[in-house]
Every structure is written in C-alpha cells, then in structure tokens.
Amino acid sequence: MERILIVRQQNNQLGDLLCSLPLYYALKKKFPESEITLVAGKANYAIPYKKFCPYIDNIIQMDRETLMKNISFIREVRALKCNIGIIPSTMQFSRTSHVINYLSGAKVRVGVKQFDNEVNKSAWLLNETGTFDWGKQKTHQTDRILDVAKIIGCELTDEEKIIRVTHTEDVLKDANEFLRSNFPANTKIIGMHTGAGKVANRWDYRNFVSLAKRLKEKYNCVFLLTSGYIDKEVTEKTIQGLKENDIPFVVENVEVRVLGAMLSMIDLYVTNDTGVMHLSGFSGGKVVSLFGPTRGYEWAPQQKGCRYIQSKTGEINDITVEEVMNVLVDSKRKDFR
C-alpha cells in the first residue's frame, strides 16, 4: 500500500481544498489502495475536509506556535511512514512545506522546480520535479495541480477532472427545509455574496444593490444573501441598501455543507472571487463570478453553467452593473434555463 503525504500548510482555505479535489482523485485512481494524509495549516474557519473530499484518509493540522508542538508534529508525520510526499506549489513556494516533506522520510518527494519565472530555491529537497509555463498558457488552478500529479504518472481525463461535490441525504434535507421555510414557493431565488477576504476582490456593495433592484424588476425574484464572519461589515451595508430599496432577501446562517447544497438548488449565484464561489461551482450551482486583480481564467469555476466577468483594468469596480446584467440575462436564456 502506498502511503502518500500532501503538504499544503499554506493556501488551504475552502477554495484551495476544492480546487485540489482532482489531485486527490488522480492519486486514488492510480493508487486505489493508498492512504492519503493532508498536512494543512490553520484556516480562517473550520473546514470539514473529509466531508468534502472522500479521497483524504487523514488530516494533520500544523501548529507552529511553539517549538514543542513542532517536534510533536514532525514525530506524528514521520510515524505515518509515507513513501510518497507531494508539495503542490501552484502559487508560491514554501520552504517550510519542503522541510516538512523531507523530514517525513518519504523516499519519493514530488514538487515543482520552477513555474513561469519563479524558481524554487527548495527544489534540492525534492527528487521528482517538473518545470511549467502556466502563466503563458493561462492554466487553471485545477490543471496546475494535476500537472504536479502527472510528475508521478497520476492523470485524469477531461471528464474526470470536472468533479462535483456530492451531498448526503441529511444535508440535502436541511437545505430544502431552509429554502422551503424562508422563500415563497415557485419564486426565483438569486444568491449574492458581496464580501471577500481581500478588499481588492470586493465589487462594491452598492453595485450589488443596484443589480438586485434591476433583477427584481425584471424577474420578481427573492435574494439569498450569503456571508462569512469576515464579511460582517459589508454584509450589513448590503442589508441596509436592500431594505432601503424594498428588495426582499434572506441572510443564510447554515453549516457550510448545507450552504453548498442550497447553492446547487437556487436559480443563480452572483459572487466575488472567494471560497463560496468554488463551493457553488463544485456543488453544481449556476455561478457568475466577478474578478478584478485575480485572474478568472485561473480561478473561476469550470463546471457547466458557470461564467465569469474579468475587469479589463484589474480594478473590480470597473465592472459595471450593466455589464453584469447583460451576462445574467444572456445566461438566463442559455445556461440557466
């Protein structure tokens, strides 16, 4: 049995986990009897890794607060006796991740030697490497992470790499109950997420309010406002704007898996570039995502029914309400029937 270690002690928020699903699937496809352990750093909030990713067998949370905890952590990693260690560096290189991978004792240590003009100064700790030109080729994150898996012969077909998160019956029941209890029957529900971890990724809440006003006039719809704890301030401003314009809405307050199921059931979801964008896409939802400084070709959901709008200047608020409205109306005719 192959024992495989994946070291992602950086960049391990919800969106990063979901974009990594094809990697774990590719490993299980080639090594069906393998045991996969993920080393993850602390996220902004609790992520049910194994609930979203059935291919992960173990999770080790890294805590770098004290030296004693570091020693205990390394002992825990070494006790796994992994023979393959993988560092899927697709955005930046982490020396800490490479040291962890090396100290794990894995005989096969897989990672990236260079991507674009970024050279991995810790590549000497690896013995199976690849060099990639992702930026020039405008490669999506899921394809980047699969390129790392290909170094050791783990591949997926185009159909296999478009993975959808499945929800259990109890999660679907809770999602249905929330929608049934909070929205009138036979009413179109359009979701909006006005927050984002990075300010530069936030389309102004007033734009969302203006968009909601126009959509209500056209479709007589009701809105589902999603919000994380880091979005409190912008969510409160959005709520005030919706109230002032007499726009009906409900703010969700459910567990993340139930939210994913709900997003697969509503008619449309308009969101900034953030974790719930990926949650909706991987759950089978219909998404229009907005991109400013980050690149839509690299991060936007690839699933059927998903589209994105890229700012031409890199400033997200240079995207106009009219531009978004045109995409949504076109989407209603085509993808969102």
Please state which of the ranges 46-50, 284-288, 299-303 shows the lowest mean pLDDT.
46-50
- Mean pLDDT, the chain, rounded, equals 90
Q: What's the Cα-to-Cα distance from 269 to each of 21, 165, 284, 294, 336, rounded to whole Å?
A: 22, 17, 11, 19, 11
Residues 6 or more apart in contact with residue 90 via CB below 8 angstroms: 112, 115, 134, 141, 144, 145, 148
For the segment 39-86, what is each residue's pLDDT rounded down to a tens digit? 987 665 566 777 778 898 988 887 666 656 778 888 899 999 999 999
Q: What's the Cα-to-Cα distance from 20 to each of 27, 120, 205, rounded to whole Å?
A: 11, 21, 30
Here the tokens at position 312 are 């031409």
Q: How far apart are the first and last CA of the chain?
A: 47
For the segment 86-123, what is each residue's pLDDT rounded down to a tens digit? 999 998 999 989 999 999 999 999 999 999 999 999 99
Residue 36 DSSP SS3? strand
Determine how β-strand 108-115 pairs with β-strand 84-86: parallel
For the segment 115-170, what is each residue's pLDDT rounded down to a tens digit? 999 999 999 999 999 999 999 999 999 999 999 999 999 999 988 988 888 889 99
Within the chain, all domains assigned CATH 3.40.50.2000 are found at 3-161, 169-333
Q: What dotted CATH number matches 169-333?
A: 3.40.50.2000
The DSSP-derived string for 277-319 is HHHHHHHT--EEEEESSS-HHHHS--STTEEEEE-SSS-GGGS
Per-residue pLDDT band at 10 (split at 50, 70, 90)? low
Residue 261 DSSP SS3? helix
Query: With 0-12 CB in 10 A as exposed, 13-18 as middle and 19+ as buried, what is 271?
Result: buried
Query: With 0-12 CB in 10 A as exposed, 13-18 as middle and 19+ as buried, what is 250?
Result: middle
The DSSP-derived string for 115-163 is ETTEE-TTGGG-SEEEEE-HHHHT--HHHHHHHHHHTTT----HHHHS-
pTM (predicted TM-score): 0.89
Distance separating alpha carbons of residues 53 and 62, to the nearest angstrom: 19
Residues 6 or more apart in contact with residue 178 via CB below 8 angstroms: 252, 254, 258, 262
**Right CATH number for 3-161 from 3.40.30.10, 3.40.50.720, 3.40.50.2000, 3.40.50.300?**
3.40.50.2000
Here the tokens at position 270 are 């308009």
Containing H/E element for 39? strand 35-40
